Amino acid sequence: MSWTSRRARAIPQSVFLLMDRAKQEARASGLGIIDLSLGSSDLSPPGPALQTLAEALLDRATHQYTLRSATRPFLEAASGWYEHRYGVTFDPDTEMLSLVGSQEGIGHLLLALTDPGDLVLIPEVAYPPYWGMAALAGLEVFPVPLREDLLPDLDAIPEEVARRARVLILNYPNNPTAAVADLGFFARALEFCRRHDVFLVHDNPYVDMVFDGPAPSPLALPGARDRCVEFFTLSKSYHMGGFRLAFAVGNSEAIAALETVKSALDFNQYQGILRMGITALQQPEAWVREQVAVFRERRDVLVRALQEAGWEVPLPRATLYLWARVPGEVDDVAFAVELCRRTGVALSPGQGFGPGGRGYVRIALVQPPERLEEAAARIGDFLRSSAR
Ligand SMILES: Cc1ncc(COP(=O)(O)O)c(C=O)c1O
């Protein structure tokens, strides 16, 4: 007799647990770990935002449960941020919701939009929790094949799958592939959704992390708010991953359904963190550009160092990640585990991101340039010793 539900058992086991074990083994054998496996920024939130939080802690008015009305100042700031960026206005009361991170928001939105047995379209390489969220909601998943340019090939979705699909999840700039979609791609995706009566969920955490220009928002397209919700987080642009703050914006019926589901499960974020989020969103654009420049430099340093170490890795246009084919015909999990055991350098095996990730690894740019060069040197030694 098992106490674990079929629902919990349906959540795919993560290959990242194997990586965790490999890290422990490397540590036990005395190797210094260079952890490039997590997409968690190593930089600090804006100083004024930390100051706002410090002051809020001592304000007793922030200590109670946060009702929706108390989230309004944050949502107004988020609405202003979106309007400034994309020239489109959303109503903070009916078309926006604050979240305890976008991960919970997307998982709960799937519960709000679907019933067990419904079909969801997820690109065959995707942010790992999407697969678990779909399992939790009892959904059938169709992994959408990727094209050469790493964008999903919507034309490859069979007609009868498209007809049954209820939700399409997209995420561009993408984790893990670093692919960037232009507005034309989003327009085609929306047209696909309109034709087949599918709801579009767009997860946009890397909206600022683009090295050569702004990332578009499908929600800014005409008519998008009829069938789209987009998620933005403060985890990446403002290094606030540990503080858990994000917001959803878009179709009012979907936002209301999400709010209903959340009302049964959690409360809103702590008011001090909401205030911190307002200060973060008010940072001058130059501050955000400086953060992006840090990751651009790291990208250049690591791609060059890996090339010198004998590994050609594509130069990404966005995000905190390199997405690289494993050298030789080696399995990605075996490669990442062995590399970590022998050198202490931890990467993420591609299979952890879905069926299309086989044969790839993701390398997160979450260490300063000197550590990245050290990682590349260790990888070079490993590749040379493996080739012998
Ligand atoms: C694509 C994607 N979505 C969502 C998240 C999680 O964001 P949050 O910290 O807001 O839950 C991440 C974090 O790495 C991500 O890469």
Summarize pLDDT for 6-38 with one digit per residue, the tens.
Answer: 999 999 887 778 888 899 999 999 889 999 999
- Is the predicted pLDDT of residue 206 greater than 80, yes or no? yes
86 CA from centroid of ligand 1 (Å): 21
In angstroms, the first-to-last Cα distance of the chain is 50
| pLDDT at 18 (0 to 100) | 83
| pLDDT at 297 (0 to 100) | 97
Helix axes 129-136, 102-113, angle to 10 degrees: 30
Q: What is the pLDDT of residues 128-160, one digit of tens each?
A: 999 999 999 999 999 999 999 999 999 999 999
Judging by beta carbons within 10 Å of its beta carbon (0-12, 13-18, 19+), is residue 188 exposed, middle or buried?
A: middle
382 CA from centroid of ligand 1 (Å): 31
Q: Whose CA is nearest to atom 6 of ligand 1?
A: 103
CA dist 301 and 36 (Å) reads 14
Query: Hey, which of 98, 127, 177, 295 would you mutate to test ligand 1's pocket, going by the most ligand atoms within 8 Å of its Cβ?
Result: 127
Residues 6+ apart with CB under 8 A from 71: 97, 98, 268, 269, 274
The candidate with the shortest Cα–Cα distance to 233, out of 209, 212, 211, 257, is: 209
Q: Can you say whether residue 30 is alpha, beta or left, with left for phi > 0 and alpha for psi between -120 and 50 degrees?
A: left
Query: Hey, which of 37, 102, 180, 320 would you mutate to test ligand 1's pocket, going by the most ligand atoms within 8 Å of its Cβ?
Result: 102
Alpha helices in the chain (DSSP H): 6-9, 16-28, 47-57, 72-86, 102-113, 129-136, 159-164, 183-196, 252-265, 271-281, 285-308, 332-343, 369-387
124 CA from centroid of ligand 1 (Å): 17
pLDDT tier for residue 100 given thresholds of 50, 70 and 90: very high
Which atom of ligand 1 is least distant from the CA of 39? 14
Mean pLDDT value across the chain: 96
| pLDDT at 311 (0 to 100) | 96
| pLDDT at 374 (0 to 100) | 97
Tokens 């993420």 map to which residue?
A: 348
Q: What is the pLDDT of residues 345-354, one digit of tens each?
A: 999 999 999 9
Could you tell me which CATH class the domain 11-44+286-387 is placed in? Answer: alpha beta
Which atom of ligand 1 is least distant from the CA of 126? 1
Q: Whose CA is nearest to atom 12 of ligand 1?
A: 205
The DSSP element (H or E) to which 100 belongs, if any, is: none
Which atom of ligand 1 is least distant from the CA of 40? 14
Ligand 1 site residues (CB inside 6 A) read 39, 101-103, 127, 171, 175, 203, 205, 233, 235, 241, 246
296 CA from centroid of ligand 1 (Å): 20
Instruction: Tell me which of 18 and 163 has the higher pLDDT.
Output: 163
pLDDT tier for residue 331 given thresholds of 50, 70 and 90: very high
pLDDT tier for residue 388 given thresholds of 50, 70 and 90: low
Which atom of ligand 1 is least distant from the CA of 103? 11
**365, 47 Cβ separation under 8 angstroms:** no
Q: What is the mean pLDDT of residues 117-131?
A: 97
**157, 186 Cβ separation under 8 angstroms:** no
Q: Percent of the chain, pLDDT > 70?
A: 100
Q: What is the mean pLDDT of residues 201-230?
A: 95
CA dist 49 and 39 (Å) reads 22
- Is the predicted pLDDT of residue 212 greater than 90, yes or no? no
12 CA from centroid of ligand 1 (Å): 18
Residue 124 has phi, psi (to 5 degrees) of -65, -15
**pTM of the complete model:** 0.96
Q: What is the pLDDT of residues 172-183, one digit of tens each?
A: 999 999 999 999
Pairing of strands 246-250, 228-233: antiparallel
CA dist 360 and 149 (Å) reads 15
Query: Hey, which of 104, 236, 348 would you mutate to test ligand 1's pocket, going by the most ligand atoms within 8 Å of its Cβ?
Result: 236
The candidate with the shortest Cα–Cα distance to 245, out of 271, 275, 267, 277, is: 277
Q: What is the pLDDT of residues 220-275, one digit of tens each?
A: 999 999 999 999 999 999 999 999 999 999 999 999 999 999 999 988 999 999 99
Sequence spans of domains, the chain: 11-44+286-387, 47-281
Q: What is the mean pLDDT of residues 304-313?
A: 96
102 CA from centroid of ligand 1 (Å): 6
205 CA from centroid of ligand 1 (Å): 6
Q: Whose CA is nearest to atom 5 of ligand 1?
A: 103
CA dist 350 and 122 (Å) reads 16
| pLDDT at 13 (0 to 100) | 81
User: Any idea which fold 47-281 has?
Assistant: Aspartate Aminotransferase; domain 2 (3.40.640)
Give the chain's length. Answer: 388
